[in-house]
């Protein structure tokens, strides 16, 4: 890795010099990138917590939390942004992917409260499902693993058109147990499609532990049998996830598919409808929380001299203020007008 140039990303705050004995920044990253991703991380967590709270107040019908997955999601999305030419197929837990791609707190709250202005489906679907084409995102449904075949189809289209886009597809360990995943990966390999598969492995498919759905430790081990590379990375380490995704994107463009498995933690129940106390040991959840990226990543940047503790506090205050604003805005917004019910339907 080489020391990156510290000028190619905007940041509203002054960036301190990296400590002289800090390790070099990852290839292609500037100090300002890490500061900006730290701001996003704090923002996403603040939004996510508010969504959960609004569910308990009866104003959000359902949500799947990204808490514990943010380093995997933001690291991989940062790689996509640095590449500049990627199309994204996130899944229902990927709030951080969607927000880092440009979705605002107001849009998120409109979506989860089912209000007019929801950007994915006009509030006619599960929150944030449909498409956000200006931000190059498709997430049609939460049918587990369906997006793998859809994303492979997208990558095939790019290849046939001679388009340089790389497709990224995120999914869970449970999705990797579906037959559709095998079909998609096999097809992608036969045709050497420009796609990166990212498995966010939190070791649970709702209440089913990994050991009950596969007899192997690493989902990435399957890549070999499809004929492409597979890598395991610490999904709680944002920079490691960035580097793995960057290599996967590069590989997709030069050669074809690869699979990166990001081992992460699901801090919350599967969704707001689930009670994970029935199947998860609380000590294990508490232990997982000690790896929380929303604590470890800002601490890393402070240690490297890229941020001060006061600046981290400013990010937290800014996030609270924006999320308060977004909540009030969405709460006051009307539901979608009944006359738009047939918009965006084919027939
Ligand atoms: C085809 C299909 N089967 C079952 C379900 C019900 N379901 C919703 S989420 C889920 C678990 C998926 O787990 P995983 O892929 O590991 O993702 P995670 O929710 O853990 O992030 C299941 C079984 C579904 N939505 N679609």
The predicted-structure confidence for 105-130, as pLDDT tens digits, reads as follows 999 999 999 999 999 999 999 999 99
Matching residue, tokens 């996030």: 319
Q: Provide φ and ψ at 268, rounded to 5°.
A: -105, 170
Nearest to 218 by CA among 234, 206, 207: 234
> Residue 22 above 80 pLDDT?
no
Contact 309, 87 (CB under 8 A): no
Ligand 1 atom 7, closest CA:
144
> 263: CA distance to ligand 1 center in Å?
17
**Residues 6 or more apart in contact with residue 10 via CB below 8 angstroms:** 32, 36
Nearest to 100 by CA among 137, 152, 144: 137
* Residue 216, domain member (yes or no): yes
| pLDDT tens digits along 183-228 | 999 999 999 999 999 999 999 999 999 999 999 999 999 999 999 9
> 206: CA distance to ligand 1 center in Å?
7
Q: Which residue has the higher pLDDT, 13 or 176?
A: 176
Could you identify the atom of ligand 1 that is nearest to the CA of residue 172? Answer: 15
Q: What is the mean pLDDT of the chain?
A: 93
Which domain, by its residues, includes 37?
A: 31-325
| CATH number of the domain where residue 158 is located | 3.40.50.970
**The pLDDT value given to residue 27:** 81
**The pLDDT value given to residue 28:** 87
* Residue 80, domain member (yes or no): yes
Could you identify the atom of ligand 1 that is nearest to the CA of residue 64? Answer: 19
**Residues 6 or more apart in contact with residue 295 via CB below 8 angstroms:** none
Section 302-331 average pLDDT = 98
* Residue 137, domain member (yes or no): yes
Contact 249, 85 (CB under 8 A): no
Question: Which of 72, 202, 206 has the most ligand 1 atoms within 8 A of CB, as the residue to mutate?
Answer: 206
> 343: CA distance to ligand 1 center in Å?
28
Q: How many domains does the chain have?
A: 1
For ligand 1, whether the C-beta of 214 sits within 6 Å is: no
**The pLDDT value given to residue 7:** 31
Ligand 1 atom 18, closest CA:
172
For ligand 1, whether the C-beta of 173 sits within 6 Å is: yes
Question: Which of 174, 211, 270 has the most ligand 1 atoms within 8 A of CB, as the residue to mutate?
Answer: 174
> Residue 248 above 90 pLDDT?
yes
> 63: CA distance to ligand 1 center in Å?
13
Matching residue, tokens 């992917």: 97
For ligand 1, whether the C-beta of 50 sits within 6 Å is: no
Distances (CA, A) of 136 to 86, 98, 132, 166: 8, 10, 6, 11
> 143: CA distance to ligand 1 center in Å?
7
Nearest to 63 by CA among 71, 76, 77, 53: 53
**The pLDDT value given to residue 2:** 26
**The pLDDT value given to residue 24:** 83
**The pLDDT value given to residue 19:** 56
**The pLDDT value given to residue 9:** 30
* Residue 335, domain member (yes or no): no
> Residue 20 above 70 pLDDT?
no
* Residue 120, domain member (yes or no): yes
* Residue 281, domain member (yes or no): yes
pTM greater than 0.85 (yes/no): yes
Contact 53, 268 (CB under 8 A): no
* Residue 344, domain member (yes or no): no
* Residue 270, domain member (yes or no): yes
Matching residue, tokens 């989860």: 112
- E strands, 79-159, where? 86-89, 130-132, 137-139
> Residue 21 above 70 pLDDT?
no
**The pLDDT value given to residue 5:** 29
Section 156-183 average pLDDT = 98
> Residue 161 above 80 pLDDT?
yes
For ligand 1, whether the C-beta of 89 sits within 6 Å is: no
Query: Tokens in use for 203?
Result: 């070791």
């Amino acid at each position: 890795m080489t020391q990156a140039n510290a000028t190619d990303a905007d940041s509203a705050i002054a960036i301190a010099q990296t400590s002289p004995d800090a390790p070099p920044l990852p290839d292609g990253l500037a100090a300002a990138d890490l500061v900006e991703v730290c701001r996003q991380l704090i923002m996403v967590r603040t939004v996510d917590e508010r969504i959960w709270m609004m569910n308990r107040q009866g104003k959000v019908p359902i949500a799947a939390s990204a808490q514990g997955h943010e380093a995997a999601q933001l690291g991989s999305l940062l790689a996509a942004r640095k590449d500049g030419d990627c199309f994204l197929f996130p899944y229902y837990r990927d709030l951080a992917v969607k927000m880092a791609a440009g979705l605002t707190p107001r849009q998120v709250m409109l979506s989860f409260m089912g209000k007019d202005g929801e950007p994915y489906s006009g509030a006619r679907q599960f929150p944030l499902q449909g498409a956000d084409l200006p931000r190059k995102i498709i997430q049609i449904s939460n049918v587990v693993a369906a997006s793998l075949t859809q994303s492979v189809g997208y990558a095939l289209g790019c290849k046939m058109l001679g388009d340089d886009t790389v497709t990224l597809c995120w999914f869970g360990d449970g999705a990797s147990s579906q037959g559709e995943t095998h079909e998609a990966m096999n097809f992608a390999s036969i045709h050497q499609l420009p796609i990166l598969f990212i498995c966010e492995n939190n070791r649970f498919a709702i209440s089913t532990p990994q050991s009950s759905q596969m007899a192997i430790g690493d989902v990435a081990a399957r890549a070999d049998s499809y004929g492409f590379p597979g890598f395991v990375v610490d999904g709680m380490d944002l920079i490691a996830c960035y580097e793995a995704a960057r290599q996967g994107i590069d590989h997709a463009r030069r050669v074809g598919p690869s699979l990166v498995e990001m081992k992460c933690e699901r801090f919350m129940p599967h969704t707001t409808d689930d009670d994970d106390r029935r199947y998860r040991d609380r000590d294990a959840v508490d232990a997982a929380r000690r790896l929380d990226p929303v604590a470890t990543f800002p601490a890393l940047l402070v240690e490297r001299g890229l941020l001060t503790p006061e600046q981290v506090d400013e990010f937290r205050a800014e996030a609270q203020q924006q999320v308060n604003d977004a909540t009030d805005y969405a709460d006051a917004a009307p539901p979608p007008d009944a006359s738009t019910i047939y918009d965006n339907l084919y027939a």
